[in-house]
Chain A
Amino acid sequence: MTAPSDVSSHAMASARWRISEVAFWVLALGCAFLFPSRYLIMTDIVRLGLFALSLDLILGYAGIVSLGHAAFFGVGAYAAGLLALHGIINEPVIALVAAGLVAAVLGFLTSFLVIRGVDLTRLMVTLGIALLLEALAERFSDITGGTDGLQGIEMQPILGLFAFDMFGRTGLFYSLVVLFILFLLARRVVHSPFGLSLRAIKNNPLRAAAIGVPVNRRLIAIYTLAAFYAGIAGALFTQTTALASLDVFSFERSADLMLVLVIGGTGYLYGGLIGAVVFKMLQELFQSITPQYWLFWIGLVLVVIVMVGRARIHRFVLFVPNLIIRQLAGRKAAVAVPESDAS
């Protein structure tokens, strides 16, 4: 009877907070205070990070490749926008949760389509759902505002206390708090027995089913949760920019998201957040060099990453940090290497 206790002690050990993780969040908070002139871009990064976290949940932990994750982002964005525009739910936090729940319902319904079939079918179905929603949003332009988007959204103060200001200060701290809370939840989920069973499914669905993991139910659950996260990210987008337009559903958004996650690495939750920072900085850099053609360089980054190999790049990048951690904390210290990569 030692095996179960081994598993649980191993799971508990890997769930323990590490110094590097604490440092990461302190650094994130520090940035928010240090650069008061860059609130808007930092909010952008936080949003993107949350969105990437959502994709990481299904890609990195459950191995579902999705080309249409923007569907949930878009639904969340429009839900939050419509709730605020028509004054149905004025309080931003409740509206945020409501928008996330709308996306989660959609995720639950579409998960039955997604869990069928193999990679290629999943790619097509997820892409199809996002395109379908985009077409729908365009069709019902009297509700969604069509190509002009939702306009005239006015956000009420958060919890009735903190009003959104024009510099984006409130928006940033609001997004950061939301990200942190959702990150804690995600961290709890992936280190739970549930999360471990997801990894078993990702590695070998057949074997997971054989040892008694209800594969389909687990996949539906995580897909719904990821949709909830993406919906929240979308709602944050609407609430902090007071805007929701058709491009929330666009293919480029889903594709960019893949890039973010690939830069950061999948399967250890921080990948999306780090990737979001790197991606936004790259985007800023390329846009300052060639304002119109930055897409080319983003594409080049993708091609190079794949050609060199994702695992190899992460080893290069993490070589110096790992060295420092080892020197500081001795040989046995946990290193910041992603535990596994999506395949």
Chain B
Amino acid sequence: MASILTNLFDGVAYGMLLFVLACGLAVTLGLMNFVNLAHGAFAMAGGYICAVLVNNSGWPFFAALPLAFVGSALIGIALERTLYRHLYSRSHLDQVLFSIGLVFMSVAAVDYIMGSSRVFIKLPAALEGQIDLFGVGIGRYRLMIVVICGLLTLALQLILAKTRFGSRLRAAVDDPRAASGLGINVPQVFAFTFAFGCGLAGLGGALSAEILGLDPYFPLKFMIYFLIVVTVGGSSSITGPFLASLLLGIADVAGKYYVPKVGPFVIYTVMIVILLWRPNGLFGRTAAR
């Protein structure tokens, strides 16, 4: 029983991590209708920024995390302004090709700069080991992930629902033409959102180095997971991708633990079935464009 709960907790932590990693993609792919297969590259960038700061420069882990966010966001906005924005109106095929090209470049560049082996981030001692909660062993690191990601999710939901920027974003997504007619600077809103999503991915990348592993092939390995989160979760709200990430996380951890041989098989099958059953995702609609 205790092991089931521990696994469940691990699954929740994993799922929340996936959510932070993928929620930026939910905006670009789900709302802006841009097929960005290179989302994992931003996560990898954040992970490596954090790794370099902590391991080489001796920064404390918690100080490096915000910088992973900022670094990835800066890379994101630079690429958005120079490259991505020209492709919003292009065909899906062009977007796929472009982002695959970016993935290849990032993989080779990181391999060149950082080497091809897996990188570990030195964690503070306070995050190692397990604590015992009502007889259930809970990893401290995973607990921290759940806390951080939970807070982030709440903050995101509040920003989207309550702030002026949130309503601008929703308006820009629902109908870009009408929104710009109302005086909303749509490209600016999209650029900012894109950068924010990249920053979140970077933060997720830094947090996930311990759990998912960080190496140059990160963007390729986890691309399908991010895509699953977004396509299965739909994009009408932030709740859909969140629930989809939790489902995916729990299913993946449980699959790897209980049926190690057929784990990936189950996930891909479930994904295909869900996509066929509800092409717009389990929890809602996609932007009608």
- Residues of chain A touching chain B, judged by Cβ–Cβ distance below 8 Å, are 59, 65, 67, 113, 116-121, 123-125, 127-129, 131-132, 135-136, 139, 251-252, 255, 258-259, 262, 292-303, 305-307, 310, 342-343
Contacts and interface: CB of A to CB of B under 8 A. Distances in A.
Nearest to A118: B279
A343 B231 CA distance: 22
B275 A295 contact: no
Given A120-B92, A121-B275, A300 B105 contact: yes
Nearest to A266: B93
Contacts of B262: 139
Is the interface on chain B under 10, 10 to 19, 20 to 34, or 35 or more residues?
Answer: 35 or more
Contacts of B62: none
A128 B271 contact: yes
A123 B34 CA distance: 13
B261 A343 contact: no
Contact of B264 (A123, A131, A251): A131
Contacts of A65: 92-93, 96
A342 B90 CA distance: 12
B104 A296 contact: yes
B127 interface: no
B231 A131 contact: no
A204 to B, nearest CB: 15
A132 B112 contact: no
Interface of B: 29, 35, 83, 86-87, 90-94, 96-98, 100-109, 111-112, 220, 223-224, 227-228, 231, 261-262, 264-265, 268-269, 271-272, 275-276, 279
28 contacts: A59-B93, A65-B93, A117-B279, A119-B92, A120-B92, A121-B231, A123-B35, A124-B275, A125-B276, A127-B224, A131-B224, A251-B220, A258-B96, A258-B97, A292-B111, A293-B109, A293-B111, A299-B106, A300-B105, A301-B101, A302-B101, A303-B83, A305-B101, A306-B87, A306-B90, A306-B97, A307-B86, A343-B91
Nearest to A121: B279
Contacts of B90: 306
A4 B228 CA distance: 47
A90 to B, nearest CB: 33
Given A119-B92, A124-B231, 19 more contacts: A65-B93, A116-B279, A117-B279, A121-B231, A121-B279, A124-B271, A128-B272, A132-B272, A139-B262, A252-B220, A292-B111, A293-B109, A293-B112, A295-B107, A299-B104, A299-B107, A300-B105, A302-B104, A303-B101
Contact of B227 (A59, A124, A252, A299): A124
Contacts of B275: 117, 121, 124-125, 128
A268 B32 CA distance: 32
A293 B113 CA distance: 11
Given A116-B276, A139-B265, A67 B105 contact: no
The interface centre, meaning the residue of B83, B103, B106, B279 with most chain A CB atoms within 10 A of its CB, is B279
Contacts of B265: 132, 135-136, 139
B268 A135 contact: yes
Given A120-B92, A121-B231, A307-B98, A299 B272 contact: no
